[in-house]
Amino acid sequence: MAVSRMSARSARMAAGLAIAGGIGVAGLLVPAVGAAQPPAGGEFLRTTCNAAQVESALHEHAPDLAARVDSHPEFRSRLDELLNLPPAEREQRIATFRQQHPDLGGHRPMPAGVDPGVVKGELQQVLDTCHNY
Residue ranges of the chain whose pLDDT lies below 70? 1-42, 104-110
pLDDT of residue 97: 81
**Nearest CA among 70, 78, 74, 65 for reference residue 127:** 65
- Residue 91 phi/psi, 5-degree rounding, is -65, -40
pLDDT of residue 99: 86
d(CA 126, CA 110): 18
